[in-house]
Amino acid sequence: IHRAKNHREQLLLFLAGWLGVSAQSLRDVWIEMPDSLVPYLNRNQRTELADYVGMKAEPAVRDALGDTVRIERMTDSYLSVRLSGSSRMEIRLLDPSTLALVQTWEGPAAESRIGLFSRLWQRKPAVVVCKDVAERPETMSEEEFAELEPLMTPRLRAYRLSADGNSLSVSWSYPLLSAKEAERVSVLLKPRVLTWNGTEFR
């Protein structure tokens, strides 16, 4: 009897914890985000930003570096934050137990980093399966392709989470090329849209 009682108590504690995590809103996830992910924006400031959204006021604060941090969009499952003039962050709730975080730096070429976490901010493996091979368009000569392909290195990868679904857009930028050169090589490696399948973006 004693063992059965302990089992019931453990089950109730598990269900209470699970329900608590499941009930977490994106607002709660944002506020409880570890300070280490954005060291110059503390919990009080994140709370203030979320409160401004709820009050339909201008959702902007000054961080410890003096930059203006602004929530650009916040829904039940998506958050977009402009951290500074050259960096931004997106959070997307992919399923009841997984969220995606994308941080992007835009100076001058855009480069992103993606991480997957539980709703309690425990890190999970982040797998992005994306073809990253130049392809020659039918309208391009082999000579021109041979001229342009070497220009594509180095290249940086930029991510954007969808606000409306569990997809991830992937694009590339070329930090050493002029705008004209970057436009010429862009046809060799076009942006792609990947879909979350429960374990990875593919």
Q: What is the pLDDT along the chain (202 residues), one digit of tens a residue?
A: 655 555 555 444 433 333 333 346 899 999 999 999 999 999 999 999 999 999 999 999 999 999 999 999 999 999 999 999 999 999 999 999 999 999 999 988 999 999 999 999 999 999 999 999 999 999 999 999 999 999 999 999 999 999 999 999 999 999 999 999 999 999 999 999 999 999 999 9
Q: Provide the H-helix boundaries in the chain.
A: 2-22, 26-31, 43-54, 142-148, 179-185
Q: How many CA atoms lie within 13 A of 141 on its CB side?
A: 3
pTM assigned to the model? 0.86
Nearest-angstrom CA–CA distance, 107 and 86: 6
112 closest CA partner among 93, 130, 91, 88: 88
Phi, psi (rounded to 5 degrees) for 5: -65, -45
